[in-house]
Chain A
Amino acid sequence: MSLSAINISKHFGRTCALDKVNLEVKSGQLVALLGPSGSGKTTLLRILAGLDYPDGDGEGRLLFQGRDVMDLPARERGVGMVFQHYALFRNMNVFDNIAFGMTVLKRRERPSSNAIRDRVMELLAKVHLQGLEKRMPHQLSGGQRQRVALARAVAIRPQILLLDEPFGALDAKVRKELRRWLRTFQEEEKLTTVFVTHDQEEALELADEVVVMNNARVEQSGSPQEVYDHPASPFVIEFLGNVNRLKRGRVQPDGSVTSLYVRPHDIQICKHLQGHTLEARVLHVFSAGSVGRVTLEYLESGEMLEAEVPRSEVDSMHLASGQTVGLRFRHIRIFTRKGETSTQELIEVPYEHEA
């Protein structure tokens, strides 16, 4: 089921949580709402669920498959939701938690108890929790609770699935496993899914489309590659992945302000200074892992830079702190702001092998 939210605004007292936000989700897509805390992403999700309502100015519209659902109460929207802390019913075991949505149906719509049992068992198998149906929520680990919450949400066969920080409370290893598992699960069920996260790595790895939010607005939306390779604003480039910012807020003669961004993997380190290289001093080399991370001082301005170079290069160049090296930037992104308008340009420097 496709979903579109149009012109959604929401104020809490005087603070603006959402400012004329638009969101478009195609049927069967997995979309990430990505942003720092306070960017409005959870508020938007709760409005989609029907747990919150946008400002009553009549401008905001919410369409599921073209049908306006704004006046539909949450319980009738047919939306599954997984809460940040799972919100499992603590006085019910795993089975009753998953069956809940089916048991509250009106008598004539309710499946028989055998059908409910079959559905719960099928879901338990799908979330790899067979044999745990008698456990109480407090007897489960974080990852297990998360999967119970997911099974419970999809038990009612929703058309749309919403997840609020689904992996936020889990440790790194479990998070990675569950992420992969959720992706396959979502593809199998062909569920239109929106999830909220503040973890850019999670959003880029998992989503078909990433919606980057900041300060109650959508900064940019697009495929993970699009937003990573073609960030629309300094906020997006800084929020997605590591980046070096140079000549921060430098004022040009014509009054415009520029900032220059270089990704760590776009920095090439040369042992010797050559024609177009910039002079820098090595401060620190971290070479545990597949890539070596080198902290450098750009000598012209004294700014700090971080570069990522293949381990082989670190080893062959014998990089050590205190050394002076040459730098070459492969991609430089320059954002220029003049008054209200901002522009950006991308400078590409052809990769050169050190002679």
Chain B
Amino acid sequence: MAKTVHPRLLSPGFSRAMQDPKWARRLLCGTALLFLALLLLVPLAAVFTEALRKGWGAFFESFNNPDARYAIYLTLLVAGISVPLNLVFGLAASWAVTKHDFPGKSLLITLIDLPFSVSPVVSGLILVLVFGVHGWFGSFFNSIGLQVIFAVPGIVLATVFVTFPFVAREIIPAMEAAGRDEEQAAIMLGASWWQILHRITLPNVRWALLYGVLLCNARAMGEFGAVSVVSGHIRGETNTVPLHVEILYNEYNFVAAFAMASLLAVLALLTLVAKTALEWRIQHLEKEAVTERTRHRENEPAA
């Protein structure tokens, strides 16, 4: 969620009084910029330089490969399934947690964050344990002829699990801030559950929702660890873009590997731009609300 800067921090008096000496500021800024350059900009530049080492022709040629194209298709497919699923799950979880009181609520809040704290490899292994051929439900899925592990359903499951918290985490604070009053007012006016959801609850959190979906999508397309465990790395069948990058790299096919990697890098940059735009939009809305309120507070006409 966008953070708003406290107005006092922006006032000149505050900054003058609280400013560190010049050399300290330069040292701190310099260190931060150095790390930023070394850890973020250089690698990003490296990805594109490596991808274009043999020119644009070789760059585009690497996408002309059926396995590469399938990897892109599979990544889009998996994200296309997991993000909507997590949107629904995230909404349901946030709604339950913020608008209702029930026993076990704090446990649910903790569980929502579980995928963040579990290593993706472990989540993948759990799925193998549960859905694998020799797993708990393996024989059941086998009997109905559905292969989960080393197939697309497993990749979707792993991606859903790993990206689960993104939507819920963004919406919960927004719903909490919105409170329950408006929903209760809508109930008193005769609105049904569905009318309240799509006319009050969702519009009130729409920016947070979009933000969550954006982050969720970026992670869903880039997920490596958990997907790697359940996919089996079968070319043209269960390889997503991140997995394909690894395979190509291990085969010393650097141009193709970095070309694929550049796709993920572009995705990251686009996400960053959209995220900033959204943050700006949310902040702008908040500021507008505050100034409008103060402007209209003074000229209250007589009733």
Contacts and interface: CB of A to CB of B under 8 A. Distances in A.
Interface stretch (B2-10, B33-41, B103-111, B291-299): B291-299
B204 A100 contact: no
Nearest to A185: B303
B186 A100 contact: yes
Contacts of B300: 141-144, 174
Interface residues of B, number: 29
B210 to A, nearest CB: 14
B200 interface: yes
Nearest to B292: A139
A104 B195 contact: yes
Contacts, number: 90
Interface in B59-108: none
Nearest to B202: A91
Interface stretch (B150-158, B177-185, B244-252): B177-185
B197 interface: no
B181 A87 contact: yes
Interface stretch (A75-83, A310-318, A319-327): A75-83
A138 B292 contact: yes
Contacts of B178: 90
Interface string B274-303: 000000000000001100110011111111
Central interface residue in A139, A149, A181, by most chain B CB within 10 Å: A139
A140 B296 contact: yes
B28 interface: no
A141 B296 contact: yes
A20 interface: no
A222 to B, nearest CB: 29
A333 interface: no
Interface in B157-207: 178, 181-182, 184-192, 195, 199-200, 203-204
Interface in A141-156: 141-144, 147, 149, 152-153, 156
A250 interface: no
A81 B297 contact: no
A75 B191 contact: yes
Given A75-B192, A91-B204, A174-B303, A141 B186 contact: no
Interface string A119-142: 000000000100000001011111
Given A174-B303, A178-B303, A89 B200 contact: yes
A139 B300 CA distance: 11
Contacts of B296: 139-141, 144
B191 A100 contact: yes
Contacts of A177: 302-303
Given A51-B187, A75-B187, A101-B190, A87 B182 contact: yes
Interface in A67-109: 74-76, 79-81, 83, 85, 87-91, 100-101, 104-105
Contact of A156 (B190, B200, B204, B302): B190
B179 to A, nearest CB: 8
B250 to A, nearest CB: 51
Given A74-B187, A143-B303, A178-B303, A104 B192 contact: yes
A111 to B, nearest CB: 13
Contacts of A156: 189-190
Contacts of A51: 184, 187-188
Contacts of A147: 303
A83 B191 contact: no
A332 B80 CA distance: 80
B303 A181 contact: yes
Contacts of A79: 188
A156 B186 CA distance: 12
Nearest to A80: B188
A307 interface: no
A70 to B, nearest CB: 16
B188 A141 contact: no
A351 to B, nearest CB: 40
Interface in B8-30: none
A210 interface: no
A49 interface: yes
Contact of B181 (A83, A128, A138, A181): A83
Contacts of B199: 89, 100, 104
Contacts of A75: 187-192
Contacts of A105: 190
Contacts of B302: 177
Contacts of A100: 186, 189, 191, 199
Contacts of B297: 141-142
Contacts of A142: 297, 300
Contacts of A85: 181
A83 B200 CA distance: 16
Contacts of A174: 300, 303
Contact of B190 (A104, A136, A139, A178): A104
Given A75-B190, A87-B184, A100-B186, 16 more contacts: A79-B188, A87-B182, A88-B182, A89-B182, A89-B186, A91-B203, A101-B189, A105-B190, A141-B300, A142-B297, A147-B303, A152-B189, A153-B189, A156-B189, A174-B300, A177-B302
25 contacts: A49-B188, A51-B187, A74-B188, A75-B189, A75-B192, A76-B190, A85-B181, A87-B181, A87-B182, A87-B184, A88-B185, A89-B200, A90-B178, A91-B204, A100-B199, A101-B189, A101-B190, A105-B190, A128-B301, A139-B292, A141-B298, A142-B300, A156-B190, A174-B300, A177-B302
Interface of A: 49, 51, 74-76, 79-81, 83, 85, 87-91, 100-101, 104-105, 128, 136, 138-144, 147, 149, 152-153, 156, 174, 177-178, 181
